[in-house]
Structure 1
């Protein structure tokens, strides 16, 4: 990982010891994202060995009874009420990908900005299970966000050359977050992905 002395295990330990976050991490600036992008390795994606969702453990317990999903729902919503199991029973959320509001936590998925299969084919296949678990539950980088469930499902595992949020005002935030996550975890990009990222960042 770049610019850090923390191991993945230290990241997990810090997350478990920390209070619940209250704000979505802000991605790096456009200028910084451009610098990071220039330093990413461009290569062909590899799915050998084949991706398996089970290689990425979700969800971790973050604080008390609150796991990663519930932590993001609390962070990204307003007036969120939870029961003793930390399940969100009510609240107000607006999906930043499409601007759609909801009062039902069941309408929301927790999206991995850089999808798990995308991480796998761009380097995570070589990580340990603990490293993949830390990535999957990362609340420090702008990698997890509560979004409309059917939109998240339509995104699937596509990278930015094939999918960005339909809400135009969020696209710059999304691509800056994408680059930051890929840079932090030393993940690679393919040539179409780099072209798309470059074009989006030039228009931010």
Structure 2
């Protein structure tokens, strides 16, 4: 596990949960977005530090090896925290489920007032992480990755965009909204660099192309 990661997760999770408490009381959010990734210049430096390596095997992969949507506080799990964070005017019931609010998908500008229309995307997909180094991690570390509120690893987006993306890396899929691609590349690189995951040559080339144009 990268150094200071556990401490950062604790601090950021506390900040997000403070926001959640505010949402429950006021029905609004102050953020409505994942944590901001580093600048393009910093992301280019991070990208150069990511080890270039062909993707590993998917043998043994299972989503169950990345326990996710764990309880964060009280009745709120990770999915519910992200829905509150990424929406506006979000109101919840006593089980922390979103009963009203507005969400706009950064990937494709799809808008909804029904939280069930949206998925929580792992920016770096779990399968991609497995093939990039996570197969050697402990289950606890994979759980941290799958529920990371500290970095730009989780985002509420339209179900259609998330399912079209699947487990593809940026060489194979990018958000349909072209103006968001720089942000997406910065998010992807931040997560991979933080977790010391590898990237294949096509993936690194596409990320460099995007970041050079930011």
TM-score by length of 1: 0.93
**What residue is the counterpart of 1:183 in the other structure?**
193
Q: Following the alignment from structure 1 to structure 2, what is the Cα–Cα distance between the partners of residues 11 and 31? A: 22
Q: Following the alignment from structure 1 to structure 2, what is the Cα–Cα distance between the partners of residues 195 and 104? A: 37
CA 1:157–1:125 in 2, change beyond 3 Å: closer, same or farther?
same
**What residue is the counterpart of 1:27 in the other structure?**
37
CA 1:65–1:11 in 2, change beyond 3 Å: closer, same or farther?
farther
Q: Is the Cα–Cα contact under 8 Å of residues 13 and 150 in structure 2 kept in the other structure? A: no
Q: Is the Cα–Cα contact under 8 Å of residues 126 and 146 in structure 2 kept in the other structure? A: yes
Q: Following the alignment from structure 2 to structure 1, what is the Cα–Cα distance between the partners of residues 85 and 153? A: 13
Q: Match of 2:196, SS?
A: coil
Q: Following the alignment from structure 2 to structure 1, what is the Cα–Cα distance between the partners of residues 129 and 145? A: 9
Q: Is the Cα–Cα contact under 8 Å of residues 17 and 63 in structure 1 kept in the other structure? A: no
For residues 68-102 of structure 1, give each alpha carbon's deviation from its aligned partner in whole angstroms, at most 9, with x where no partner exists: 00000000101111000000011101000001110
Q: Match of 1:146, SS?
A: strand
Superposition RMSD in Å:
1.6
Residues 1-204 of structure 1 mapped to structure 2, 5 A cutoff: 1-2=1-2, 4-7=3-6, 10=7, 14=11, 19-21=17-19, 23=31, 24-47=34-57, 49-204=59-214
Q: Quote how far apart the aligned CAs of 1:58 are.
A: 1.3
Q: Quote how far apart the aligned CAs of 1:114 are.
A: 0.4
For residues 161-185 of structure 1, give each alpha carbon's deviation from its aligned partner in whole angstroms, at most 9, with x where no partner exists: 0001000111000000000000000
In structure 2, list runs of 5 or more residues that go unmatched.
Answer: 20-29
Q: Which consecutive segments of 4 or more residues in structure 1 shift more than 3 A?
A: 10-18
Q: Is the Cα–Cα contact under 8 Å of residues 36 and 179 in structure 1 kept in the other structure? A: yes
Q: Following the alignment from structure 1 to structure 2, what is the Cα–Cα distance between the partners of residues 121 and 38? A: 19
For residues 97-117 of structure 1, give each alpha carbon's deviation from its aligned partner in whole angstroms, at most 9, with x where no partner exists: 001110000000000000000
In structure 1, list runs of 5 or more residues that go unmatched.
Answer: none
Q: Is the Cα–Cα contact under 8 Å of residues 37 and 152 in structure 2 kept in the other structure? A: yes
Q: Match of 1:80, SS?
A: strand
TM-score by length of 2: 0.89
Q: Following the alignment from structure 1 to structure 2, what is the Cα–Cα distance between the partners of residues 183 and 16? A: 20
CA 1:62–1:20 in 2, change beyond 3 Å: closer, same or farther?
farther
Q: State the aligned residue count.
A: 201
Q: Is the Cα–Cα contact under 8 Å of residues 9 and 150 in structure 2 kept in the other structure? A: no
Q: Following the alignment from structure 2 to structure 1, what is the Cα–Cα distance between the partners of residues 58 and 93? A: 43
